[in-house]
Structure 1
Amino acid sequence: MHILSIHNAYQIRGGEDESCAAEQQLLREQGHQVDVYQEDNARIQTLNSAHAAIKTTWSAESYRDIRQHLAQHPVDIVHIQNFFPLISPSVHHAAKDAGVPVVQTLRNYRLLCPNALFFRAGQVCEDCLGKPIPYPGVLHGCYRESRAASAAVAAMLLAHRLLRTWIETVDYFIALTEFARQKFIEGGLPAHKIVVKPNFVSPDPGVGDGRGGYMLYVGRLSVEKGLDTLIDAWQRLDLSVPLKIIGDGPLSDQVNAAAQTHPSIEWLGRQPMNQVHNLMGSAMAVIFPSKWYETFGRVAIEAFAKGTPVIASNIGAIAEVVQPGYTGLQFHPNDPDDLAQQVKWVLNHPEALQQMRQNARAEFIAKYTAKANYQMLMDIYSKVQKQV
C-alpha cells in the first residue's frame, strides 16, 4: 500500500509529532511505501499576518503540491495527521479532486475550538462547541492570545464548514479515544465516519522494577497540564515521598521555584526518551494531573509499557485510559487534596500497587503495542478502500 502522510509539525516536537513519526515508521517496517508532505510551524513567522491568515484558510501552494504529487505517484490513501496552520484544508480538496480517499486523525480539537484545547482562563471551556461560527474564541482571543489570530482560525473553520470539507472530503476520521469521538460528534462530525484507534509505543521499552521510591511527572510545563495542582498537592503531603518532574514550558520558573523551596520536589528539565523511560520504570507511579480534555495521554501508555501505574485526573480522555483500581487511580481535577490522598493510598498499599503494575503492563500488551495498532490501522484503510 502507498500512503501519503500530511503533517504540519510543531516548532518544538511534542506528542503529536512523535505519534505521527511512529505511525509512519510502523507502516514502513510493514513494507508499505510512505511519502510525507510536511510543513513546519516556524515558517509562519516569515509571513505577514494577512498572508498567514489566507494560507490558514486555503493554501494554494499546498493544494498544487498535493495535486502534483498524486498525479505523479500511485497513492492509495492520503492520511492527514495535522494540516494547521500552513498546510490548510486545501489538501483535503486536492485529494478529493484527484479521487484518492482521505483518512484524518483528530489529534486535537481544532475543528471545534480555535485554540484546539477546550481550555480557557485555567478551566475547561466549551463555548464554541456546536456553534457554526466560533465567535467566543475570537472575543476571548483564544488562539495565541490574539483576537486577530483567533479570527483567522474562526474564518478557516467557518469557510470549511460552508464548503462541507469535513463532511464530503474525509472518508474516515480517527479519534484517539471514545471520549474524543463523542466530542467530535457533538461538534457536528458524522458519527458513522469516526472510528477509535489509540496511539501506541514502539519499540517496547520493557518493564521496570518500580523500586525507585519516587513518583514522576512527564510532560509540558503549562497551565492546562495541572502543574499547580501537582505542586500544591506535594506541599500538603506530610510524607516526604520524592516527586521528579520532567519537561519544560511556560511554567518552568514556577516549577524551578518549587524545587528550590520544597526538598521533595526535583525538576529534571527535558530528558532524552530513553532516560524518561528508565525513570518511568523505576517510579512508584506516574502522575497525570491535566485540567483539559486530553485527546489521549501518550505519557500514560508509556508508563503502562514500563509496568507503572498512573494517578490521573478524572477528566476527558485520560479518565478513559486509566482504569481506577486496575491500572492506576483517579482524582478530581484541580483538587490537590484529592491528589494527595491518592498518593497516600499508593504508599499505604504496596501489594495492591504491585498488582496494578502487572495490570498496567497487561493493558499495554493488549491495546498499545505496534502490532495491535498496525492491525487497527489496516482495518481502517481496508474499509476506506472498499468504499472507493
Structure 2
Amino acid sequence: MNILLVHNHYRQPGGEDSVFFSEKMLLSDQGHNVFFYTANNAQLEKFSAAGMIRNTLWNQKSYWDLRYLISKHSVQVAHFHNTFPLISPSAYYAAKSENIPVVQTLHNYRLLCPNALFFRAGHVCEDCLGRFVPWPGVLRRCYRGSIAASGVVATMLTFHRVLGTWKRMVDVYVALTEFARQKFIKAGFPAEKIVVKPNFVYPDPGVGEGKAGFTLFVGRLSPEKGLDTLLVAWERLEGKLPLKIVGDGPLAGKVIEATQRLIGVEWLGRRSREEVLALMKEASFLIFPSISHEGFPMTIVEAFAVGLPVLASNIGNMSNLIDPGRTGFHFRAGDSEDLAAKVEWAWAHTRQLMEMRREARAEYEAKYTAEKNYEMLMNIYQLAISRAKGRG
C-alpha cells in the first residue's frame, strides 16, 4: 500500500513521537511505501500571534501540501497522529478532497479538553467533557497557563465542531484503550467509528534479568506524573532501597533537591530510548505514580517488553493496563503511604517478583508485539477504505 503518515511533533519528544516512528518503521519493514508529512513545535516562534491563530484553525499551506503529496504518490490511506497546532484539521479536508480515507489515532484527549490531559490544579478535571464550547478551559487558562492560548485551542475545537469535522472527515478513530474510547463516546463521537488498538514496542528489545537492585521511574517531571507522591513515599522509606529517576521537565529542581536530601535517590536526567530500555532490563520494578488518566504510556508497554513488573497508580488507563498480582501492582493514586507499603512488599518478595517478570513479558507477547499490532493496523486501514468507498 501507499500510506501517508501525518504528525505534528512536540518540542519535547514523547510517547506520540515514539509511536509515529515505530509505525513508520513497521510499515516500511512490511514492504509498504510510507510517505510522511510532519511539523515541529520548535517552529512556533516563527509565527506572529495572528498567524498562529490562523494556522491552528486552518492551515492553508498544509491543505495544499497534502493534496500535492497524496496525488503525487497515489496515496491509498492517510493516517494522522497529531495535527495540533501547526498542521491543523485542514489536513483532513485535503485527504477528503483527494478521496482518500482518513484514520486518526487518539493519543490524548485534545479533541475534548484544551490541555489534552483532563488534568488541572493537581487533580483530574473533566469539566469540558461533552461541552460544545469548552469555555471552562479558557477561564482556567488550561493551555500553557494563558487565557489567550487556551482561547485559541477552544476556538479551534468549537469551529470544527460547527463544521462537523470530527464526525464527517474521519473514517476511523483509533483509541488506545477501551477507557479512552468510552470518553470520546460520552463526548458525542460516533461509537461505530472508534476502534481500540494499543501501542506496541518495535523492535523487540529482549528480556532483562533485573539483577541490579534498584527501582525505576521514567517520565516527564511534571505534576500530573505524580512526582510529589513518589518523593514523599521515598522519604517514608528512609533510604531502604535505591530509586533512579529518568526524565526532565518543570519539576527537575524538586527532583534535584530530593537527591540531596534523600538517601538512595538518583536523577539521571533525560536518556535515549536505548538507555532507558537498558535500565529497565536491570531494574527490579518500574514505578508509574501518575495522578492523571494518561493515554497509553509507552513506558508501561516497554517495561512489559523487557519483563519488568509495574507498580502503578490505580487511575484512568492504568487501572486496566496492570493486572495486579500478575504483571505488577496498583496503589491508590496520590497516596504516598500506600505506594511506600507496596514498594516494601515487592522488595521483600523476590520470588513473586521474578514470577511477575515472566508474566509481564507474557503480557507483551500476547498483546503488544509488532506482529499483532501490524495485523490490527491493516484491518483498520481496510475498514477505513471500505467506509470511504461506501460513502462515495
TM-score, normalised by the number of residues in structure 1: 0.98
Is 1:25 matched up with 2:25? yes
3-state SS, counterpart of residue 286 of structure 2: strand
Q: What are the residue-to-residue correspondences of 1:183-198 with 2, within 5 Å?
A: 183-198=183-198
Query: AA paired with 2:38?
Result: Q
Q: What are the residue-to-residue correspondences of 1:250-269 with 2, within 5 Å?
A: 250-269=250-269
Query: AA paired with 1:39?
Result: A
Moved segments of 4+, more than 6 Å:
none
Q: Which residue of 2 aligns with 1:61?
A: 61
3-state SS, counterpart of residue 386 of structure 1: helix
- Quote the Cα distance in structure 2 between the aligned partners of 1:273 and 1:151: 35
- Quote the Cα distance in structure 2 between the aligned partners of 1:248 and 1:132: 35
Query: AA paired with 1:268?
Result: L
**Alpha-carbon contact 2:63-2:93 (below 8 Å) kept:** yes
**Alpha-carbon contact 2:66-2:95 (below 8 Å) kept:** yes
Q: What are the residue-to-residue correspondences of 1:314-333 with 2, within 5 Å?
A: 314-333=314-333
Q: Which residue of 2 aligns with 1:179?
A: 179
Out of 249-258 and 312-321, give the one that drifted further. Answer: 312-321
Shift of 1:274: 2.0
Is 1:97 matched up with 2:97? yes
Q: What are the residue-to-residue correspondences of 1:167-246 with 2, within 5 Å?
A: 167-238=167-238, 240-246=240-246
3-state SS, counterpart of residue 245 of structure 1: strand
**Per the alignment, do residues 218 and 364 of structure 1 end up closer, same or farther by CA in structure 2, a change over 3 Å counting?**
same
Q: Which residue of 2 aligns with 1:148?
A: 148
Query: AA paired with 2:132?
Result: P
3-state SS, counterpart of residue 302 of structure 1: helix
> What are the superposed Cα offsets for residues 45-90 of structure 1, whole Å, 9 maximum, x if unpaired?
1111111011101111111111222222211101111000010000
Q: Which residue of 1 aligns with 2:385?
A: 385
Out of 235-244 and 256-265, give the one that drifted further. Answer: 235-244
Query: AA paired with 2:66?
Result: I
TM-score, normalised by the number of residues in structure 2: 0.97
Out of 68-77 and 243-252, give the one that drifted further. Answer: 68-77
Percent identity, please.
54
> What are the superposed Cα offsets for residues 201-221 of structure 1, whole Å, 9 maximum, x if unpaired?
111111111111110001111
Q: Which residue of 1 aligns with 2:368?
A: 368
- Quote the Cα distance in structure 1 between the aligned partners of 2:274 and 2:65: 37
Shift of 1:42: 1.4
- Quote the Cα distance in structure 2 between the aligned partners of 1:279 and 1:328: 18
3-state SS, counterpart of residue 278 of structure 1: helix
**RMSD over equivalenced CA pairs, Å:** 1.0
- Quote the Cα distance in structure 2 between the aligned partners of 1:215 and 1:236: 15
Shift of 1:44: 1.5
Q: What are the residue-to-residue correspondences of 1:156-167 with 2, within 5 Å?
A: 156-167=156-167
Shift of 1:349: 1.8
> What are the superposed Cα offsets for residues 104-127 of structure 1, whole Å, 9 maximum, x if unpaired?
000111000000010111111101
Out of 171-180 and 341-350, give the one that drifted further. Answer: 341-350
Q: Which residue of 2 aligns with 1:120?
A: 120
Query: AA paired with 2:258?
Result: A
Shift of 1:288: 0.3
Query: AA paired with 1:73?
Result: H
Shift of 1:239: 5.7
Please, which runs of 5 or more residues in structure 1 have no aligned partner? none
Q: Which residue of 2 aligns with 1:106?
A: 106
Query: AA paired with 2:64?
Result: R
> What are the superposed Cα offsets for residues 143-188 of structure 1, whole Å, 9 maximum, x if unpaired?
1110001111001000100111011110000011111111111111
- Quote the Cα distance in structure 1 between the aligned partners of 2:202 and 2:100: 29
Q: Which residue of 1 aligns with 2:132?
A: 132
Query: AA paired with 1:286?
Result: L
Shift of 1:247: 0.8
Is 1:356 matched up with 2:346? no
